Amino acid sequence: MEKLIVILGTTAAGKSDIGIRLAQKFNGEIISADSRQVFRGLDLGSGKVTKEEQEMVPHHLIDVCNPGDFYSMADFQKQAYRCIDEIAARGKVPFMVGGTGLYVDSVTEGYQLSDKMPDLAYRAELEKLTTPELYDMLMEKLPGHEVDASNRNRVMRVLEKLHDGDDALPKKQQRYDCLLLGVNWEREVLKQRIDERLERRFQMGMVDEIKGLIDNGVSTEFLLGLGLEYRYITQYVLGEIATMEELTEELGKAIKRFARRQMTWFRRHGQNIHWLDMTKDPDAEAEALIRDFLGEGDC
RNA sequence: AGGGGUAUGGUGUAAUGGUAACACGUGGGUCUCCAAAACCUUUGUUCUGGGUUCGAGUCCUAGUGCCCCUG
């Protein structure tokens, strides 16, 4: 089984930096596992690595589609598999770095997905119904299936699967031998890092980035749906958020809330994550683990 | 110093004298094809001392803190 090194963690934890350093040391290439960095032009707001950083180590699955395109976990998985296999075939070490828990898991746990594409027409039809109606419909077709009755997206997805002839049961098959490294900070420290990074990106022109996207025809509906930076800054540009102060405060809160959800995901799904002690020497700790994982003579 | 106002969870507010509520925050959780999405859920409050009343966040009184005005 091919080996894959994964670096995960919350937003603003510093995954990209340590990922680049480690990939350089171990003759690696980086696959980004980030649901927003796949879009061209979403740079500052998605926390994308710079062009210069991308030159230090080859990066993959960044800028692979246009804003407004439909891109999902399944697309990511397919492309990630191909990238990883190609990197390994070149005799290099694949490093997957990212904070989108679902994307990471789809590769590390080997989700087996139906090969049918989402049926957008059927989805549009379901969209007309209220959530309770959707739930009733689901219970009729598949009594006893466990989903949050009020979770519209989940209920719709199960209906969609059934419509496709799928049995709606999740399956998986591990495809890679993975070493999971977690980058994490004490809560208060992380909150401070989030605030600092937010301030820094505002100074670097994050608002102008969003204005530019809108001027170039990217729909505000798409941007609002992305959440966090793109949602809140779009609201500011549209005048729904009045001041920069309010924007900074609301967005800061939202990012912290998101970081908490990310941790919930990792706690639940990553039983074998090695959490690096960021207050000591995380690089050395990670290097030792990687060396051990890859085996002697490989580095 | 005098006059007026005000005091409710961490924050902002609500409650004809009759079970103290809401939002935000905080914490926990769900999630295999839009996942930075979409959801579920916990927590905690009447400034202090007296008084009126069957019953006080609410009325009276003293104190204390804060705000405004005057000097």
Measure, in angstroms, how far nucleotide B36 C1' is from residue A59 CA. 21
d(CA A102, CA A108): 10
The residues spanned by each domain of chain A are 3-113+172-294, 120-165
Weakest mean pLDDT among A45-54, A149-158, A217-226, A249-258: A149-158
Strand B positions closer than 7 A to protein CB = 24-40
Per-residue burial over A49-77, b if 16 or more Cβ lie within 10 Å, else e, is beeeebeebebbbbbbeebeeebebbbbb
Q: Is the CB of A71 under 7 A from strand B?
A: yes
Phi, psi (deg, nearest 5) at residue A75: -65, -45
Q: Domain A3-113+172-294 sits in which CATH superfamily?
A: P-loop containing nucleotide triphosphate hydrolases (3.40.50.300)
Is the shortest CB-to-strand distance from A192 to strand B under 7 Å?
no
pLDDT band at residue A152 using 50, 70 and 90 as cut-offs: confident
- Determine whether the distance from the CB of A256 to the nearest atom of strand B is below 7 Å: yes
- Residue A92 backbone phi and psi in degrees, to 5: -110, 170
List, for residues A51-105, the tens digit of each pLDDT value: 999 999 999 999 999 999 999 999 999 999 999 999 999 999 999 999 999 999 9
**8 A C-beta contact, residue A167 and residue A257:** no
Residue in the block written with tokens 């990511």: A76
Residue position matching structure tokens 């989903």: A147
Confidence of residue A151 (pLDDT cuts 50, 70, 90): confident
- Band (pLDDT 50/70/90 cuts) for residue A296 is low
pLDDT tens digits for range A281-295: 999 999 999 999 998
Strand B reaches within 7 A of the A25 CB: no
What is the rounded CA–CA span in Å between residue A273 and residue A267?
9
Q: Is the pLDDT of residue A298 over 70?
A: no
> Using one digit for the tens of pLDDT, what is the confidence trace for A101-128?
999 999 999 999 887 777 778 888 888 8
Query: Is the pLDDT assigned to residue A299 strictly greater than 70?
Result: no
Q: What is the pLDDT of residue A290?
A: 96
Query: CA of A220 and C1' of B62: distance in angstroms?
Result: 61
H or E stretch covering A274: strand A273-277
A103 touches strand B (CB under 7 A): yes
* Whole-complex ipTM: 0.88
Sign of CA dihedral A247, A249, A250, A252: positive
